[in-house]
Amino acid sequence: MDTHDSIHTHILSNPSSNDLLVAARALQNGELVAIPTETVYGLGANGLDAEAMDKIYAAKGRPSDNPLILHVPSIDSIRPLVKAIPKTAYQLMETFWPGPLTITLPKSDLVPYRATGGLERVALRCPDHDICRQLLSLAGVPIAAPSANISGRPSPTTAQAVYEDMNGRILYIVDAGPCSIGVESTVVEVQEDAVIILRPGGITKEMLETVVSTVTYDKALSSDAKPKAPGMKYKHYAPDAPMTAFVGNAQDVAIAIDKYVHSLTRQQGEIVSHDFVHIAKACNVGYLLSKEVYEALQPTILTDVPVNCIHVYGHHGDAVSLAHDFYSALLSFNEAKVTHIIAEGVQPEGLGVAVMNRMEKASGGHIEYL
Ligand code: AMP
Ligand code: MG
């Protein structure tokens, strides 16, 4: 957008301690800096400065009632930001911080409503990423940082992907290589000795249950109930092309995809033939698959599909690899300008719950459990 073109965006690759100091100063001065974390890249601003946070909403085109997460370098640094730290919340922090767990707690007066979308609770997280924590310590203020993408688009897991969306809109991108996890943090609300998961993420329900006996999902995750996490109501993570996903054993998924691709060719008015080269050319599909399903389809419908339209994430059912590769695969399909995306999902268990929550949104609910 031309309105943002006055800012020149620098990528700080292999950031030295001096680079981090420069980035920290920019944050203190109310500028935007994209920061690496273990989940996805964040679009950082001083979390105590309402005007600085306004810039986040403007750069992303983010709805103003969608609250931000404040990032801190340690448990101790949240004390001025909250009214109190309940025992259960403290236990969770001690167990899972630094890590992909965001906890909402009643905010102190120090935290502007701009950080919380007008809510009384503030969301807090300590990232498991050395460079990020060094930067947070140098900045000396909590850093508000939603994912560093334009709202609605897939989240960036590399500095290059941040640059694609944010060039001309922010001052610095701190490049620390690809994010290790690849999907956003788990967001929880702590109530006495129970925990409600508002958004599934890198810390699973099973992991939380090792610390707290009662862990439930917010009703809004599986129904149309009003979500406690306002951001969950918005369209998210969407690739440019419509996406359809399949979950099941590898053989069933391969059969279903083969059938689906034939139906796509028919819809496009092409003569149905068993000439697979013809099929690949007729529909410009991006495929996100496990090794097993890729191997099953390689001799048939994947013959002659260009390499930039195929992304193989790992073995069948490997939620960790799928989480790691998911957003970057969607972005590479955008670049390849595919007209359809076919993805193989995983069972919604463990980290699979977080990945399938993103896949559900990215596909507009077009997931077939076989
Ligand atoms: P993002 O940083 O883009 O992944 O978005 C942060 C998300 O955290 C929001 O969209 C909400 O879903 C959630 N969140 C942040 N603050 C709160 C809060 N005070 N209460 C409930 N959910 C929150
Ligand atoms: Mg986001």
Residue 344 backbone zone (phi > 0: left; psi -120 to 50: alpha; other: beta): beta
Q: Whose CA is nearest to atom 9 of ligand 1?
A: 231
> What are the angstrom distances between the C-alpha of 308 and each of 67, 68, 281, 288, 323?
36, 34, 14, 11, 19
Q: Which residue shows structure tokens 């620098």?
A: 10
Largest CA distance in the chain: 67
Kindly report the average pLDDT of the chain as a whole number. 92
Report the alpha-carbon distance of residue 28 to residue 49 in Å, rounded: 9
Full DSSP string of 127-182: -S-HHHHHHHHHH-S-EE--BSS-TTSPPPSSHHHHHHHHTTT-SEEEE-SS-SS-
- Ligand 1, residue 228: give the atom nearest the CA: 21
Mean pLDDT across 143-161: 96
Give residues with Cβ within 8 angstroms of 199, minimum separation 6.
102, 184, 185, 186, 187, 221, 229, 231, 232, 357
- Ligand 1, residue 147: give the atom nearest the CA: 3
Q: Is residue 38's pLDDT more than 50?
A: yes
Q: Whose CA is nearest to atom 7 of ligand 1?
A: 231
Give residues with Cβ within 8 angstroms of 33, minimum separation 6.
23, 26, 27, 44, 45, 170, 171, 172, 173, 174
Predicted TM-score of the model (pTM): 0.92
Report the alpha-carbon distance of residue 368 to residue 356 in Å, rounded: 12
Tell whether omega for the bond before 67 is within 30 degrees of 0, i.e. cis. no
- The pLDDT value recorded for residue 304 is 85
Distance 69 CA to ligand 1 centre (A): 6
Enumerate domains of the chain plus CATH numbers: 10-222 (3.90.870.10), 243-369 (3.40.50.11030)
Grade residue 171 by pLDDT with cuts at 50, 70 and 90: very high
Pocket of ligand 1 (CB under 6 A): 66-67, 69, 104, 116, 119, 121-123, 146-147, 184, 187, 198-199, 228-229, 231-232
Q: Is residue 290's pLDDT more than 60?
A: yes
Q: What's the pLDDT tens digit per position in 212-228?
A: 999 999 988 876 667 67
Cβ atoms of 103 and 188 within 8 Å: the answer is: yes
Q: Which helix (H) or strand (E) holds 326?
A: helix 319-336
- By the CB criterion, residues less than 5 angstroms from ion ligand 2 are 146-147
Distance 133 CA to ligand 2 centre (A): 20
**Closest residue by Cα to residue 104 from 94, 162, 95, 93:** 93
Mean pLDDT across 255-271: 80
Q: Whose CA is nearest to atom 20 of ligand 1?
A: 229
Grade residue 229 by pLDDT with cuts at 50, 70 and 90: low
